[in-house]
Each structure stands twice: as structure tokens, then as C-alpha cells.
Amino acid sequence: MPANLSPEYKAAEAAYRKAREPRERLDLLREMLRTIPKHKGTERLQADIKARIKELSDEIDISRRRGGHGGPALVIRPEGAAQIALIGPPNSGKSLLHARMTGSGAHDAPYPFTTQVPQPGMMPYEDIYFQLVDLPAVTSEHPTPWLQGALQSADAALLMIDITEPTCVEQLDDVHSTLRTRRVALSDRWEARSTAPDDSIDDGDPFAVRLPTLLLANKIDVVTDIDAELQALRELSGLRYPTLAVSATTGYGLGKLGAELFSRLRIVRVYTKTPGHASEKSHPFTLRSGETVRDVARLVHKDLSRSLRYARVWGHAGFDGQHVGPEHVLVDRDVIELHA
Ligand SMILES: Nc1nc2c(ncn2[C@@H]2O[C@H](COP(=O)(O)OP(=O)(O)OP(=O)(O)O)[C@@H](O)[C@H]2O)c(=O)[nH]1
Ligand SMILES: [Mg+2]
């Protein structure tokens, strides 16, 4: 991390790291370029920012043009409680899983490189949705230039492998090294995303992507001794990702996927109500653990987060309509009434 970065620049960079919407990210990149102190020590970072601005505006442009002509987009706008990227070697079953969990009709086929563009779909879990994004295979044989851009908005990854594939460990190595060249790191740690402005994770590289990852050992329907197979995979690969044994064909293990994502991402559902009315019980806002009344207000409307005075909360933590301030931390299933 270059020395002497101004507080203004650091704030822009922190906002960029937090932002998920492609257009908002582009604005924040421009803000970073505007505020970065222009001296020798920041030349590399300035060049990186310029390159990223170019890349992202191209991506947005291509998406717009393809979208405009009925074609698919390369940058997927996040929707639902979290955006989850489906990644893995060719032919591992990503598209079949996607089709099964989202009803997307994603095309699967018994040969590699079937999927060429990202395909979003919504996977229901209780009263919320996760957005699953099906992606082309990750492999050094057939690199996808826009992959890093597509992964920048993801909250987590499902790393899907075909456990019956004899070269599965080599495939995993290849996935990791291919991602590394794109500055994408998969992580077995799911701790909360940091929002501290001067937190220098990723060695100060604002463009590195770090995705908490759940390994899906797929095609388990073909395996006789599941435990032995998973154990062998762990020993041979040395990987420590949390793992689910699944079958995209039979559905085995997939009933656990939603709950797994919900708890690992520490999703918090909050229901809003207007004074004198029952709460809107079917459409929660989704937050992450640690977020506050003000964060809900921001989701309802940008202006509301500024004019917010207090909220009343009903919930499981013993709250029964108590008044709380904007910085009050909410828990899952809280019902709140916002007062501006
Ligand atoms: N037996 C079995 N076959 C599966 C399972 N999941 C997927 N398949 C088959 O594996 C093949 C590849 O599935 P896809 O979903 O196209 O795989 P993909 O990972 O999307 O492949 P690419 O898009 O080419 O990277 C298809 O013939 C699927 O029917 C599974 O759980 N069990
Ligand atoms: Mg596919």
C-alpha cells in the first residue's frame, strides 16, 4: 500500500470495496482517481485504477449492447440476499445445479465449455432469495477475460467439482492458479466482510477479489462410499473449504444449501411496518449481522437514512416496540417501524 494516501482517497476506496453495483463502482473508481495523491509512489496504483475504469466501462458497455439486442449481459447486477458465483472446472455440473435450484433452464450438456456467458437465477430459501450466477468453466485451457469483473460483485462462491473425475485434484489446482492470475482468491474463511476504511486487506490491492467458498462435491450419486471419497479429496488436495456432498441429478444434499449460505453469510432478515399497520411479513429486507436501523433506512430510501430520527423494534431479543436510535444493531426476524 503506497504511503501518504489522503483520507479522501481512502474513503473512496473503502466505498468502492463495499459497492456491488457496476455503475456505482465505476463512479467510485473515478472518485479514487480524482482523489489519489499524484506522486511517484502512487503511479502503479493510478495505472491500476485507470485500467480498471477502462475494463469496467467496457464491460458495462458490452452488457448494455448485448442486453439491448436481447443477448446476455457480462456484468450481473446483484439481487436478493447475496450474489453467489458458481465456479469450477468444465463439466462439473454447475449448470445442472443452477437449473435445478433456480428454475433457470441453464443449459447442461455432457461435454465441457457448454456455458459461455454468466446466467443469473434466483434460488429461494425460506422467505428470501439468493442470486446464483452460473459461469463458464474456470480453466487455463480456455480463459475467460471478463471473469474477474463478473466476480467483483459476488459475495461468495460455490466451487463445484465432479468428484468422480479422476483428475479432479489437478482440475482444482488449475482453477486456483487460473483465478490467481486474475487476482481472485478463494477462501475457506467466511468471517464478516470488513468495512473499516483503513483496513489494508489484500496488501492494499483494491482490485483483488476474495470470495468465501463452499466446496460442492458433485455427482455423489455415482459414489458408493461418500465419506471415504471426501476424506481422500481432502487429503489429496489439502483444501479446507467447508464441503457439501451433492448430486445435481438426484438433488441429494441440496436441501442444505440455502441454510448453509444463510448462516455462513450471517444474513439478517428485517420486516418493516408502518405505524398502525401490521408488518410486511412476506418481504424482508436482508442485511448482514452487525448492520443497523440506519442500514435498513438506506435500503428503503437514500433520503430516509439522513432524516431518520428513531425506530421502534419488535423482535426476539425481548423488544416490544421500544424506541431505538439509528445505530441500533438488528437481529434476524426483527420487525421495525422507521420514524423520520
Ligand atoms: N451422474 C451425475 N451427472 C451429473 C450431475 N450433475 C451434472 N451431471 C452431468 O454432467 C454433465 C455436465 O453438466 P453441466 O451442468 O453442463 O456442467 P457444467 O459444469 O455447467 O459444464 P461447463 O458449462 O461446460 O463448464 C451433464 O451431462 C450433466 O447431466 C450429478 O450430480 N450426477
Ligand atoms: Mg455450464
Task: Tell me, yes or no, whether 194 lies in a domain.
Answer: yes
CA of 161 to the centre of ligand 1 (A): 10
Asked if the model's pLDDT at residue 194 lies above 70, the reply is no
Is 274 in the same domain as 296?
A: yes
Residue 310 pLDDT: 95
- The helix (H) or strand (E) run that includes residue 173 is helix 168-181
Residue 192 pLDDT: 63
Which of 36, 68, 100 is the last residue before a domain boundary? 68
With a pLDDT cut of 90, the percent of the chain lying above it is 63
Is 96 in the same domain as 44?
A: no
CA of 166 to the centre of ligand 1 (A): 15
Q: Which residues pair with 133 in a beta bridge?
A: 85, 120
Asked if the model's pLDDT at residue 337 lies above 50, the reply is yes
Is 169 in the same domain as 316?
A: no
Task: Tell me, yes or no, whether 297 lies in a domain.
Answer: yes
User: What's the mean per-residue pLDDT of the chain?
Assistant: 89
Spatial separation of the C-alpha atoms in residues 237 and 53, rounded to whole Å: 37
Q: Kindly give, in sequence order, each residue whose CB lies less than 8 Å from that of residue 213, ignoring residues fewer than 6 positions away.
A: 156, 157, 158, 159, 186, 187, 188, 241
Is 163 in the same domain as 202?
A: yes
pLDDT in tens, 50-87: 998 998 888 777 767 765 554 456 778 889 999 999 99
CA of 184 to the centre of ligand 2 (A): 20
Is 240 in the same domain as 323?
A: no
Looking up residue 245, the CATH number of its domain turns out to be 3.40.50.300
Is 109 in the same domain as 161?
A: yes
3-state helix, strand, coil in the chain (%, to 5): 35, 20, 40
Q: Kindly give, in sequence order, each residue whose CB lies less than 8 Å from that of residue 139, ignoring residues fewer than 6 positions away.
A: 89, 90, 171, 174, 175, 178
If one counts every other C-beta atom within 10 angstroms of the C-beta of residue 339, the result is: 13
pTM: 0.87
Q: Which residues pair with 131 in a beta bridge?
A: 83, 122
Residue 115 pLDDT: 77
Task: Tell me, yes or no, whether 2 lies in a domain.
Answer: no
Is 282 in the same domain as 182?
A: no
**Region 268-288: what's the mean pLDDT?**
87
CA of 236 to the centre of ligand 2 (A): 26
Total structural domains in the chain? Answer: 3
The beta-strand segments (E) located in 174-319 are 184-187, 209-218, 243-245, 267-272, 285-288, 310-314
Is 17 in the same domain as 131?
A: no
Spatial separation of the C-alpha atoms in residues 245 and 263, rounded to whole Å: 18
**Region 244-272: what's the mean pLDDT?**
97
Question: Which atom of ligand 1 is nearest the CA belonging to 160?
Answer: 19
Task: Tell me, yes or no, whether 131 lies in a domain.
Answer: yes
Q: Which of 100, 101, 108, 134 to mutate to test the pocket of ligand 1 (most atoms within 8 A of CB)?
A: 108
pLDDT in tens, 29-56: 999 999 999 998 899 899 999 998 998 8
Query: Which of these, 32, 19, 116, 147, lies nearest to 77 by C-alpha position?
Result: 19
Asked if the model's pLDDT at residue 199 lies above 70, the reply is no
Sign of the Cα torsion 195, 201, 207, 213 reads: negative
Q: Which ligand is nearest to the CA of 112?
A: 1
Q: Which of 95, 174, 254 to mutate to test the pocket of ligand 1 (most atoms within 8 A of CB)?
A: 95
Query: Which of these, 13, 137, 146, lies nearest to 72 by C-alpha position?
Result: 146
CB 149, CB 83: distance < 8 Å: no
If one counts every other C-beta atom within 10 angstroms of the C-beta of residue 4, the result is: 9
Task: Tell me, yes or no, whether 76 lies in a domain.
Answer: no
Task: Tell me, yes or no, whether 285 lies in a domain.
Answer: yes
Q: Ligand 1: residues within 6 Å at CB?
A: 88, 90-96, 108-110, 112-115, 137, 218-219, 221-222, 247-249
Looking up residue 328, the CATH number of its domain turns out to be 3.10.20.30
Which of 264, 285, 318 is the last residue before a domain boundary? 264
Query: Which of these, 183, 179, 142, lies nearest to 51 by C-alpha position?
Result: 183
Which of 68, 94, 119 is the last residue before a domain boundary? 68
Asked if the model's pLDDT at residue 200 lies above 60, the reply is no
Cβ burial of 140 (10 Å; 0-12, 13-18, 19+) is exposed
Which residue carries 473515478 as its cell?
30
pLDDT band at 303 (very low <50, low <70, confident <90, very high): confident
- Show the domain range for 34: 7-68
Is 56 in the same domain as 87?
A: no
Asked if the model's pLDDT at residue 197 lies above 50, the reply is no
CA of 113 to the centre of ligand 2 (A): 7
Task: Tell me, yes or no, whether 187 lies in a domain.
Answer: yes
**Region 260-265: what's the mean pLDDT?**
98
Spatial separation of the C-alpha atoms in residues 196 and 140, rounded to whole Å: 35
Spatial separation of the C-alpha atoms in residues 159 and 45, rounded to whole Å: 30
Cβ burial of 185 (10 Å; 0-12, 13-18, 19+) is middle
Look at ligand 1, atom 7, and give the residue with the nearest C-alpha. Answer: 93
Is 106 in the same domain as 206?
A: yes
CB 175, CB 89: distance < 8 Å: yes
Of the listed ranges 47-51, 79-83, 263-267, 316-320, the least confidently predicted one is 316-320
Nine cell digits for residue 54: 477502462
Is 241 in the same domain as 121?
A: yes
CA of 250 to the centre of ligand 1 (A): 12
Is 123 in the same domain as 227?
A: yes
pLDDT in tens, 208-251: 899 999 999 999 999 999 999 999 999 999 999 999 999 999 99
Spatial separation of the C-alpha atoms in residues 32 and 252, rounded to whole Å: 47
Task: Tell me, yes or no, whether 104 lies in a domain.
Answer: yes
Look at ligand 1, atom 8, and give the residue with the nearest C-alpha. Answer: 93
Spatial separation of the C-alpha atoms in residues 98 and 113, rounded to whole Å: 15
